Chains A and B, each alone.
Chain A
Amino acid sequence: MTIALSNMPWLETVVKIAKGENVGQNIQIILKTLGLPLAGILVFLMIWHAAASNINTSLGQFPGPADVVTQSKNLMNEHVTEREKAEAFYERQEKRNADRVAKDPDYVPKIRPYTGKPTYVDQIGTSLVTVLSGFFLASLIAVPLGIVIGLSSNLYSAFNPIIQIFKPVSPLAWLPLVTMVVSALYVTDDPMVPKSFVTSMITVMLCCLWPTVINTAVGVASISQDLKNVSQVLRLSYMTHVIKIVLPSSVPMMFTGLRLSLSIAWMVLIAAEMLAQNPGLGKFVWDEFQNGSSDSLGRIMVAVITIGLIGFLLDRIMLMIQRYVSWDKSATLR
């Protein structure tokens, strides 16, 4: 509860007003913490609205805030309809199977999956799964690698050029290579996950490794000499040293890296999905662009805002995890 509250300072103040503490002062605080951001958003919406009505494209007018609202409603309705269709499909199938078993007791009923197109919500889900698995895979490699090269200045010097060279590489450059390698190596008759998923995931991983590696290494390398001396005097083994001293003291830097990585992962994912045709938000944007109906721009704008919101949310979640994991609860995290 305290964690949730500390993310939203205005909510804390509302609680205080409800309790009757410093009502006047607290209302001022609310106006500031809640009012100013709201005013900013309002001004932005007005400018957006005014600008949008002046931009005409071959697909019609540029979508303003109102179009976005309409289109997001449409997308939700499509989702609901699609779900109803799917349910109806399964119901019909079950009924048919039951009838057939009644006639012929030897018949083993088969359930065929519904093959309707993925809805907007499905696509968000796919994107989230892809980005999280790519990010998780990257962290699994980056954190230990960062610790190992942070502990040894020789290893750091050896790895540093490689990191610096691969860090700025765009996902679009990796993608063709990854696609070919995945097609060559990931060959099964009954794939657990589709190839496009694996391709996007690996591309995300390759692009979001580096901030975590670098920040973890810097965090580990900057552990105070005093603590290293303590470890030496106690003759801690390598693993105990890492667990008891290195990990806790490098947590803040590590999380700075992880958060950078996650935001890069999310950005990269959209590009990767567009090209790999992984059924996520990137593919949605691409399909709408190819579709070219008068609604398309509005729907793409919905995707833009969704991408932004989810990116923001992912960062907040990481911040919450950092607060939970970090030993120094007094440090201000932003």
Chain B
Amino acid sequence: MNKMLEITGAGIEFNTPKGSFRALRDVNLKIQQGEFVSLIGHSGCGKSTVLNIVAGLLQATEGGVVLNGKEVNEPGPERAVVFQNHSLLPWLSAYENVELAVKQVFKGKKSKAEMKEWIEHNLGLVHMTHAMHKRPDEISGGMKQRVGIARALAMEPYVLLMDEPFGALDALTRAHLQDSLMEIQKDLNNTVIMITHDVDEAVLLSDRIVMMTNGPAATIGEILDVNLERPRNRLELADDPAYNHYRAAVLSFLYEKQKKVDSTTSSAPQANATKKPEPVAAPAIEPAQEPEKKIA
């Protein structure tokens, strides 16, 4: 019984003024300690809903989540969340933001000096020691997200939940943070569930990629095991046939099997297609990402 996180038959129905709306049905997933799982799918397919159910911010209508043998029914620091738009308290410095979490989780367990050391240690993990007394409005978007990650790590969670953590960042900053995250993951061996829109991010970071079908009533479509050796290097992988095979598998799921038909998003693959013939200087990652960002 080393399965540590089990999502069993989870489904959710929202009550809307127009009647009930079924967002998710029958989601089953078992995640082991130390595993890095990505959730990928088109916008509005319920990825965030799955994450919020695991976080306890939403209650599943049927089925549920069991973490280390205990049912999840409310949010808690053992399932720390890294939010898409960092969600730092703007009136507190980076240090104080992490401190709020640490004081809450380790009240009575760590002494003042130990807490200080622990806060600084976590800010060090994300390379934020130099700016730890700056407030969120004084640092860049990437740095804010780093602090958000430090805050989540500082709670010493069983599971780290990341909701499109790098979605709002530019490509370079994103690559930088992905490398940082891989490094941290290697050291701490955290269990991570990450939502992403980005095929390359999913393949580069994950042990498994969970691909979701389109909503309403979305569920898990396919699960892809990514057996690439760690540590992974994005430059070496760019020419790796196995890596490209995984990429192709995810892309074909998203753009062939689960092609979006409604007007707003169907233009995305086309935009992608028109872009391809041009000689693109950017690495192969870019064309696949661009339309995705527009959808988001």
Contact = CB atoms under 8 A, between A and B. Distances in A.
Tell me whether A and B are bound partners: yes
A233 B75 contact: yes
B57 A232 contact: yes
The DSSP consensus for interface residues of chain A is helix
A155 interface: no
B101 A234 contact: yes
A58 interface: no
Interface string A243-262: 01100110000000000000
B237 to A, nearest CB: 33
A229 B83 contact: yes
Interface string A196-236: 00000000000000000000000000000011011011111
A153 to B, nearest CB: 16
B241 to A, nearest CB: 41
B83 A226 contact: yes
B104 A226 contact: no
A235 B83 contact: no
Interface size for chain B: under 10, 10 to 19, 20 to 34, or 35 or more residues? 20 to 34
A230 B83 contact: yes
A230 B137 contact: no
A236 B103 CA distance: 10
A226 B85 contact: yes
B137 A233 contact: no
Nearest to A232: B75
Contact of B87 (A226, A244, A328): A226
Nearest to B84: A226
Interface in A109-167: none
A311 B89 CA distance: 35
Contacts of B90: 327-328
Interface in B76-127: 76-77, 79-81, 83, 85, 87, 89-91, 100-101, 104-105
A327 B104 contact: no
B59 to A, nearest CB: 12
A54 interface: no
A22 interface: no
Interface in B167-225: none
A330 interface: yes
B91 A233 contact: no
A240 B104 CA distance: 10
A235 B91 CA distance: 20
A235 B104 contact: yes
A136 to B, nearest CB: 25
A320 B90 CA distance: 21
Contacts of B101: 234
Contacts of A249: 91
B23 interface: no
Interface string A274-289: 0000000000000000
Contact of A248 (B55, B81, B87, B91): B91
B89 A245 contact: yes
Contacts of B137: 328, 330
Contacts of B83: 226, 229-230
Nearest to B91: A327
A323 to B, nearest CB: 14
Contacts of A232: 56-57, 74-75
A266 B104 CA distance: 44
Contact of B100 (A234, A327, A330): A234
A330 B74 CA distance: 37
A240 B99 CA distance: 13
Contacts of B87: 226-227, 229-230
A229 B76 contact: no
Contact of B77 (A226, A233, A240): A233
A327 B81 CA distance: 25
B55 A233 contact: yes
B57 A229 contact: yes
B75 A235 contact: yes
A275 B178 CA distance: 72
Interface centre among A226, A233, A245 (most CB of B within 10 A): A233
A234 B79 CA distance: 10
Interface string A300-315: 0000000000000000
A235 B85 contact: no
22 contacts: A226-B83, A226-B87, A229-B57, A229-B81, A230-B87, A230-B89, A232-B56, A232-B57, A232-B75, A233-B79, A233-B80, A233-B81, A234-B101, A235-B77, A235-B104, A236-B104, A244-B89, A244-B100, A245-B89, A327-B90, A328-B90, A328-B91
Given A226-B85, A327-B90, 16 more contacts: A230-B83, A232-B74, A233-B57, A233-B75, A233-B81, A234-B77, A234-B104, A234-B105, A235-B76, A235-B77, A236-B104, A240-B104, A244-B89, A244-B100, A249-B91, A328-B137
Interface of A: 226-227, 229-230, 232-236, 240, 244-245, 248-249, 327-328, 330
The 10 closest A-B pairs by CB, nearest first: A327-B91, A226-B87, A232-B75, A248-B91, A233-B75, A234-B104, A230-B87, A233-B81, A226-B83, A234-B101
